[in-house]
Amino acid sequence: MWLTRPLRERSTQLFLGVLFAALIVVTALHLLMPQDSALYVSSYTVTLLGKYLCYALLAVAVDLVWGYLGILSLGHGAFFALGGYAMGMYLMRQIGDRGVYGDPLLPDFMVFLNWQELPWYWQGFDMAWFAFIMVLLAPGLLALVFGFLAFRSRVTGVYLSIITQALTFALMLAFFRNEMGFGGNNGLTDFKDLLGFDLRTDATRLGLFLATGIALAIGYVVCRGIVTSKLGRVSVACRDAEARTRFLGYRVERVQLFVFVVSAMLAGVAGALYVPQVGIINPSEFSPLFSIEVVVWVALGGRATLYGAVIGAILVNYGKTVFTGIMPDAWLFALGGLFVLVTVFLPKGIAGLLFTRKKTKDEPTTPAQEATA
């Protein structure tokens, strides 16, 4: 089966081993260490690491379409935000009469704006199974419609990138409007519980962290299953020689559409896991700058490697956390300098450096090299 093939790869086994080991270590240090110990991992750190893992899953989704399909999407933040809003709507419905205004049906921001009834598109979000389906369906449907129109028209290259950026910018402007019914510029917040578990407890935060790690593992395996299958080989052919692939009889637009939709759904899952851990979702997640930043993560980590996208997302966001604490007024310059250094000295990203070292280690030594040594 195509989905089990990646589990036999050494690289996938190594990635999953490192990921699950990290999850176990963080859990153990959080639960078993005393709070005054230097090794203790606080609830704040657990939540922060969970956010990094959400970003890593989003980066894997972007790498799937950019690295293996050649589509530079500058709008994946839209799919991330749609998944986040679907989860946020469910969490808002769970508040019930515990809100500031005590309305059992309408969220607080609707009461404040004098809404008389719940909009039709909020119906069903009081049920977890419906909300979880919408986490996949909302970004997937948007990607399906957008991709069908774009790929059928054979829009490629920089033009496609600009259109994806325009898409997320248009959605950001729409969600900023109060009459849209999504909280306007304040977004959705003040969440209480998820599936009956209090979001403010340490146990729930740890559970969300572990769930995010498992989602990242599943998303990585799904992407590896795609890229190592025949579909993945055709995707690379579409990336490198689209005209020749069409000449051979492949329906390039169908391949592009399928991979694009899968990537969007993975981004939606990342957004859904992000919201309960951060505690808010607002239109800023649609920002084109955020989508561009995700592309930078992938480029720094190593395009067309998947695990490189994970490395880039975690390192860059950790760097942001460190630099904002050390140099709050100049952290952007420090982060920009890091980008420049990696681009100049590591054109294939961090994963490219690891691959080069592995290749050098595996190459046999020639007699001339032995004589020189």
List, for residues 135-150, the tens digit of each pLDDT value: 999 999 999 999 999 9
Q: Per this entry, what is the length of the chain?
A: 373
**Radius of gyration of the chain from Cα atoms?**
22
With 70 as the cut, is the pLDDT of residue 356 above it? Answer: no
Section 37-63 average pLDDT: 94
For a pLDDT cut of 70, what percent of the chain falls above it? 94
What is the Cα–Cα distance from 267 to 276, expressed in whole angstroms? 15
What number is the average pLDDT over the span 13-19? 94
Which pLDDT value is given to residue 314? 94
Place of tokens 């153990």: 28
- Per-residue pLDDT, averaged over 11-19, amounts to 93
pLDDT of residue 252: 92
Q: Torsion angle, CA of 320/324/326/327, rounded to 10 degrees? A: 110
> Tell me, what's the pLDDT at 242?
87
3-state helix, strand, coil in the chain (%, to 5): 75, 0, 25
Residues 6+ apart with CB under 8 A from 141: none
| Weakest-pLDDT range from 33-37, 83-87, 322-326 | 322-326
pLDDT value for 32: 92
Confidence of residue 372 (pLDDT cuts 50, 70, 90): very low
Question: Which amino acid does the sequence have at 149?
Answer: L
Contact predicate 142/267, CB 8 Å: no
Share of the chain above pLDDT 90, in %: 63
CA–CA separation, 73 vs 59, rounded Å? 11
Position 355 scores a pLDDT of 62
pLDDT tens digits, 156-165: 888 999 999 9
Cβ atoms of 106 and 119 closer than 8 Å: no
Q: Which helix (H) or strand (E) holds 137?
A: helix 128-152
pLDDT at 64: 95
- Distance, CA of 264 to CA of 137 (rounded, Å): 10
pLDDT of residue 357: 55
Q: Hey, which residues does 281 pair with through a beta bridge?
A: 188
Whole-number Å distance between alpha carbons of 358 and 40? 35
Average pLDDT, the chain: 89
Instruction: Give the Cα separation of 284 and 85 in Å (integer).
Output: 12
Concatenating the DSSP letter of every residue in 17-30 gives HHHHHHHHHHHHHH
Kindly tell me if the per-residue pLDDT of 3 is higher than 90. Answer: no
- Does residue 354 register a pLDDT over 70? no
Average pLDDT over residues 309-313: 93
Residue 362: predicted pLDDT = 52
Least confident of 90-104, 338-352, 358-372: 358-372
pLDDT, tens digit (0-9, with 9 covering 90-100), for 182-200: 998 899 998 999 998 999 9
Helix (H, G, I), strand (E, B) or coil at 188: strand
Q: What is the pLDDT of residues 214-269, one digit of tens each?
A: 999 999 999 999 999 999 999 999 999 988 999 888 999 999 999 999 999 999 99
pLDDT at 110 over 80: yes
Q: How many other β-carbons are positioned within 10 Å of the β-carbon of residue 125?
A: 20
Long-range contacts of 235-244 (CB under 8 A, 24+ apart): 235/68, 235/69, 235/259, 236/68, 238/69, 238/70, 239/68, 239/69, 239/70, 240/70, 242/70, 242/156
